[in-house]
Chain A
Amino acid sequence: MTAVLTVAAGEIRSALRNRWVLSATLVLAALALSLALLGSAPTGTVGVAPLDVTVVSLTSLTIFLVPLIALLLSHDAIVGERERGTLLLLLSYPLARWQVIAGKFIGHTAVVSIAVTLGYGSAGLVIAWLFGGIDSESMTAFAALIGSSIVLGAAFLALGYLVSVCAPQRATAIGVAVAIWLVLVLVYDAALLGILVADTSRSMPAELVQALLVLNPADAFRLFNLAGLGRVGTFSGMAAVSQQAHAGGAILISMLILWTALPLLGAAVIFGRREV
């Protein structure tokens, strides 16, 4: 366990030192604040809880940004060390290969957590200070957003390690990581929408659509935050989906955890078998 924590602490220290944490936090905070302030304009007099609106806009922001940040952190983790020549030395120390992956995962998850919590937290505080009217339900929705964003980040970190242990070169790793991001975040939804539009005879059962949505980690995250949490769902435009897609919050979060655990396990197994 000491070895895992040492690797994790090393990753956190590196990320703090090379300003990864700072830049990720600043980007998230800046975008979250501008979305929150812009988003609050039309709601001013309607009496909708401002923090809830912020949750809706931050959910979309998270789906684009957090997977990207996670993949940028993790795609390089193994193949980068291999190319720089630090991996050979690390593996000559008394730690197992899975401990390297576990340590990096813990360290990078901490980095994502710091960035998301500070970035979104600061936006939440500004909203609360400007508009007031924060009840416990809004607070719960906002906390759930931060928590689930971290889990979404963890899933894409794990995917990044899987890429990193398989890739022969860093250039390959970044290419595959960007492809994964494009497919899961952009192409998947567009393709699903296209199929639904083309499917004029409605031959596709609703259960299949629901299952396809839940299977994608980005959509599972979206459903969890927009449809899964009471009031937020009603003005997120996801109400219709949420009634059809009555997958509970527990299932959606389990799906995200599965998307974390399986690639992480795969990465550890493949890394254990590969040569330096």
Chain B
Amino acid sequence: MSLMRIRKPKTRKGKQILLSREPQLIEPTRTMLFIDGRKCGGDIKSCMKDLQQLRKPLVKILNRKNDITPFDDPSSLEFLTMKNDCALFAFGSTSKKRPNNLILGRLFENEILDMIELGIKHYTSMSEFKTEKIGTNVKPCLIFNGPRWNQTEELRRLRNLLIDTFHKDKVDAIRLQGVEHVVSFTCTEDLTILMRSYKIMLKKSGQKTPRIELVEIGPSADFSIRRTKIASEDLYKQARKQPKQLQPKKKKNVTYDELGNTHGRVHLGKQNVTKIQTRRVKGLRKTPEEKRDSRQKKKELIKAAAKDLLKNAE
């Protein structure tokens, strides 16, 4: 029957995997899938290797050649990212038409959200810089230079994608001595993106904050933007929607004044004045007449009802 299409997990592990593919409130860290195209060698290969080095351990590397053209048919790419549980992908290929082609992209709901094709004009790999390297798993600072980054939607998306690619993980705290890597992206007038990566040297400045000196450690690349596929405004907005449960709750009835004092407002319900316990004064008691009257009234009511009933019964 039609229900055969719903697969039921057979093992506990399989169930866990299927569960992990469902929407989650707090998503796990975003891993990046590295895929080679039909041909992938030279600059593009070393570029991919360096990117892997920078993103480790949040990477998943596929080494075989893949006959995929992401801009024509992204289905197999979507499948591979889904299977490997990755949110981002980097696809490297080289051809006569598009030499040294790097496609960076990300997914939303198992479909490609945006995807930008960068051509490598000039590349110097990390191994070519004979300098001291940074440690592993260092969160880099990201610098975006140039006024162009904010001018077009495409570049804004590219900037967001680059942040996604390089910033690795969201952290609440950082070791001050551990800030040792900076990646800068400069967008020139002719839309070339210059990527440079430096090691940060903290020097004495005579104050608490150190003076910064930079040493280039590579990789350094000049990218040109080729084809792009960016998500529609609607989809992008939907993808950026944050769960309400994670947003900080607004504190009600608490205000702060200029002196730093906290003012709280307390709401009490309406007081029941008739039930309130007061001093028992003789004058406020019911007189015997009042009591009798009320009792009499009650009795009369019951009597009338009883008579009515008896009449009905007869």
Q: Do A and B truly interact?
A: no
Q: List the interface of chain A (C-beta within 8 A of B).
A: none
